[in-house]
Structures are given as structure tokens and as C-alpha cells.
Amino acid sequence: MTRLALLSVSDKTGLVAFARQLVETFDFSIISSGGTAEALKAAGIPVTKVSDYTGSPEILGGRVKTLHPRIHGGILARRDVPQDLTDLETNQIQPIDLVVVNLYPFEQTIAQPGMSLADAVEQIDIGGPAMLRASAKNFAHVTVLCNPAQYDEYLTELRRGDGQVSFEFRRACALAGFSHTAKYDAAIATYLAAQSATREPIAAESGSEHPASIFITGRLLQPLRYGENPHQPAAWYQTGESPTGWAEATKLQGKELSYNNLVDLEAARRIVAEFDDAPGAPAAAVIIKHTNPCGVALGNTLLEAYTKAYEADSTSAFGGIVALNRPIDVETAAALTQTFLECVVAPGCDAAAAEILAAKSKVRVLTLLDLHAGPAQAVRAIAGGLLVQASDDRPIDISQWKVATEKAPTDDQWAELRFAWTVCKHVKSNAIVVTNQRTTLGIGAGQMNRVGSVKLALEQAGDRARGAILASDGFFPFDDSVRQAAAAGIVAIAQPGGSLRDAESIQAANELGLAMIFTGVRHFLH
């Protein structure tokens, strides 16, 4: 008796050549359904339609094709269990040795603009996952292939094993099958949760606005040399079926990206995405060290913006990560080569600029067309669980800000306060940012008390603090920071407000002639 293979695929890449090898070289008989059967028949490959094999027609517009005992009995039968073999013989079922299935393109479908819920539901595969799971469960006797990339390896196994495949190969294929269905189901559950007007019952009963379950899946994009430190193994996984975000970036040159590179690049992307990249808007440049900005600036040209950001803290910029909101031009490329940098990312890079950057061949230069597209949620692992929060990407609305002092900011100071506040939300708490002329002058980050952060930022700014703006990611619990800022020459302050001692800070600002606004929003970054 020839061996039996079941082929039912949505992605028909390599299908005909693979099926021809099965039939002509390894003496398989093929059963198939729907479009797969038609494709094989058109190529002249002998194939039995599933409906003919089972004796049951496809019904419900194709919703039911392979859900039949002759299919699942042939897949699930254990060849070393006598009763299973008796059941096969009694019901005239032939064992199925190979199952080749990939699923309806659900994720690609829902990614299309204007896709309706009804159309999306029709791309939820039922028979495919059932066959994948059944064959993966019975990997001791059945091989399951869910990706065209596995075809050549399977044929190689057959040649190497004189027509047989190893247990280890079948087990690896089973793992791939279960991973595929898990990811597929997670995508469906996530989509339906987003579409639903009501919460899941468990979440509703608990009074939570969050879903009762979350699903995080990804496929290995590439192993990384190591994580934050050499003794920590690390890898980069892509979420979603199609590359997005950093997986969609183009690396023009440089060494392989490291774990720390990617973490810093994401921090830089989040800041530069705050600034408008429409024609006529200022150019923006961000320099990152260890996820904190060390220089951020706006300019009339990209070169001006980068130069101002670099000069804000040239010492820290050494070995930094640079993000730009304009394509890299020749002038900016020449400036970028004047110091050691780890990575540079921009929405594009002129050909002549790329030639200049090539002189620094180890610098990783990336282009990412959409620097604004970021994750909607932030997820952090803790012992025994996950913490999930909405990303802090609320647009800054200065119309909601309130002047807390007798003195109001000038028009230019309003613009400067907004710039300082924008940068401040991306600095590790306790965060203090001093700016002037849309350029950071001093940054106090990650200190255990706000007074320490104020001191660091003002010391870094030095004499440049005179006439500058100061932003604080959290409120001032005492008036000492206001007085310290005024003594350094700060003229206006942005802070959330909300302290029990706000009145003391306001009084100090009034005494010292400072303008102070309350944003009403806190931006802690832990």
C-alpha cells in the first residue's frame, strides 16, 4: 500500500514541485481539498479530492471539508496500538503519514484597511488547525508541515532515511505546528477582543476595564550576541505576521544590532516621534545614552538640529544613538562622522550621504520610514506575571495647562516649555530638563530625589541656564527646587502640580519673578 499524504494549504508556494517529488520519487498518494486539489490537478499530479475519499461532500460553502472520521482517524491512529489498527480496518480508513497544512491568512486579512468583522471571521480557519493539532499530537507516527520552508528539509530527511523520517524531525515539526496554531489563535483572540463592545465575562464580573486574558506571541527574527551583558543570552522576536517597526527597518551598514542597541534605538524613536515631520516643520535630532537623552534639539535644517543636540552634551554623545526626523543629507552625514556613534536612524538617507557614512563602516546606519508607529501597550515581566499599561503617548495639549503664578510665560516661553516638557517625559525619573532655543542644556535623570536631579541639570547647563526653561516630570514637594532654579537664572518652569505644598512653590516663584505652569499630567518613567 502506498503511503498517504494530505495536502491542504492556503500558501501554495512550492506546492507543485513538492507534491511531484512525493508522488514520483517517494510513492505517496495524495488527498487534497479545494484550491489545493485544483492546483495539483492542473499540474498533472494525481490527487484524490477529500470529498471523494470521505464520501462526504464539502458543505456550508466550504466551511466543512476535512472534519471527518476518515481524515482524523487516519491522522490520529497510533500504529503501535492494536485497537487503533483494528478501528482503522473496521472503518476502512488508511493511515495518513504526512499532513501538509497552512492556514487562512487571518493576520494579513485584518491588516487590510476597511476590513469588516464578517469578512475577518471568514478567514478564521477551522479544519486547518484541527488537522495541524491532530497530526502534531501524533508526531510519533505522523509528520506535519505547516510552512513551505520545511518542504526541502522533509525531502532531504526522506532521502537520508531511505524513505523514512527521524523521530527528532517529526517532533520538531510538531512543535512548529503547535506554535503556529497557538500564534494563530492568539491573533484571533486579540482581534476579537479589540472588536468587542463588551468585556470578557471574567473581566466584567471583576469590574475591570482590561481583558481577562492577554496573548503575546512572536517568531524568532534573529539571535543576538548577548543581552544587556555578555553572560545573558538574548534574541529578537517579531510580533505580527508581517514585519513592522524595527523589523521593517533597513540596515544600510554597520555591525549586527545588539540588545542594547535596539533598546536605545526604541528610546530614541519614541522621542523623535514626538516632533512633527511634516514639510515645513523643524528638523529634530535626538542623541541617546543608556535610554536617556543626552541631547535633543530642533533646527531649521537637519545639520543645525544635530549640531545643537551634539553640543548640548558632547561628552555623553560619544558612543551614542542618534535619531533624526529627516532623511540624512550630505552635510549631516559629514557631521555624524566626526564622532564615534553606535547607531543612527532616520526615515531615509541620500545616496551621497550614505557614501560619506561608509567611511565609518562599523556605525550601524538604519532607515525606518515610519518613526511614529510604536506599541500601544508597554509590557514588563515580574516574578510570576506581567505588568501591562497603555504607552505614554498622549499628545501634549498645552491648552490644558494652567498658569500658576502671577507672571505668565511669553509666547516664546510657551513654545520652549512645550519642548522641555516633551523631552522630560522620556527621561528616567526623577527627571529634570533645562532647555533654551529648543535645545537641551542640562538633564538630571534617574536620581533618587528631585533636588539631586535639579542640581545635576543646572550644573550641566552652567551659565547657559540664565534665561532658560526648566521642566520636571513630577511635582515639587517643597519650594527648594524652585529657589535653586531661580538662583541659576531659570525664568520659567513646567511641572505637573498636585503637591500638598504647591502653594509654597507658587509663592517662591512669585517672589523670585518666575513664570510657572501646571501641566496637570505626570510623566514618570521607571
Which residues are known to be catalytic? Answer: 137, 290
- What letter does residue 281 receive in the DSSP assignment? S
Grid coordinates belonging to 14: 512550492
Which are the contacts of 85, defined by CB distance < 8 A and separation ≥ 6? 77, 79
Q: Are the beta carbons of 391 and 375 closer than 8 angstroms?
A: yes
Q: What 3-state DSSP class applies to 316?
A: helix
The answer to whether the CB of 440 falls within 8 A of the CB of 390 is no
Looking up cell 524613536, which residue turns up?
269
- Give the HSE-up count for residue 368: Cα atoms under 13 Å, Cβ half-sphere: 30
Residue in 128, 130, 71 with CA at minimum distance from that of residue 104: 128
Residues 143, 132 contacting (CB under 8 angstroms) = no
Alpha helices in 273-383 (DSSP H): 302-312, 314-317, 330-336, 351-357
For cell 480557519, the residue is 125
| Residue 262: burial class (beta carbons within 10 Å; 0-12, 13-18, 19+) | middle
CA distance 252 to 254: 7
Which residue type sits at 311? E
8-state DSSP, 445: -
- Cα–Cα distance for residue pair 387/476, rounded to 1 Å: 28
Sheet of 283-289: strand order equals 250-253, 364-367, 341-346, 320-324, 283-289, 292-299, 439-444, 432-436, 469-472, 492-495, 515-518, 402-403
SS3 of residue 466 by DSSP = coil
